[in-house]
Chains A and B, each alone.
Chain A
């Protein structure tokens, strides 16, 4: 199994450009989420989804959109990139419903720089 796969690994954008960070998992996990991590900081939750067709906002959702059309994929869209969105982005997933305390599985991250 590939686990949680994030693409791209690195990306440089100019202010105002848009892009989509991809996240895919092959473990049939219903729960998926996006975090950002700024230097020296912990992870902050951007958006999460408890299943296909369902999304919700986390702590820092402004400037980001998500959708969940399939169980496998949970893309994160930046509509108009800003330098404040320079960060490392992590996607994570968790097994289905009954075991809400199952561990999160993280991807290796996407390092985004906005100039």
Chain B
């Protein structure tokens, strides 16, 4: 079963920042937090991942709480192309599969 909790849906205006929350209260010290997104009619694509420190890449930023029980995916300026389902995944160490939950459906309004 998925170990993370996310809101079912969120809405954002175009050109504004978006903060997508995720709770992972059962996280252990070696579990990573991964984020993927799925655009309509496509397979999921990797967005970002992290362990303890905040992470930035060209797509997004990941802010991880100090106690690691929650994290926030930050899209700095939402565009219409960012409308997708965003999945937050708690990934144990080792060569184990990713378990997806239902994710958050992000709508972006022009």
Interface residues of A (CB under 8 A from B): 31, 33, 35, 41-45, 48, 50, 58-59, 90, 92, 97, 100-101, 103-109
Given contacts A90-B44, A107-B43, A108-B43, contact A100 B100 (CB under 8 A): no
Interface of B is mostly: loop
Q: List 9 tightest A-B contacts by C-beta distance, closest first.
A: A106-B43, A103-B46, A43-B100, A42-B100, A42-B102, A101-B32, A48-B97, A90-B43, A50-B95
Contact: A41 with B102, CB < 8 Å?
yes
- Residues from chain A with Cβ under 8 Å of B32 in the complex: 101
**B contact residues, total (Cβ < 8 Å):** 23
Docked Cα-Cα span, A103 to B46, in Å, equals 6
Name the CB-closest residue of B to A51: B95
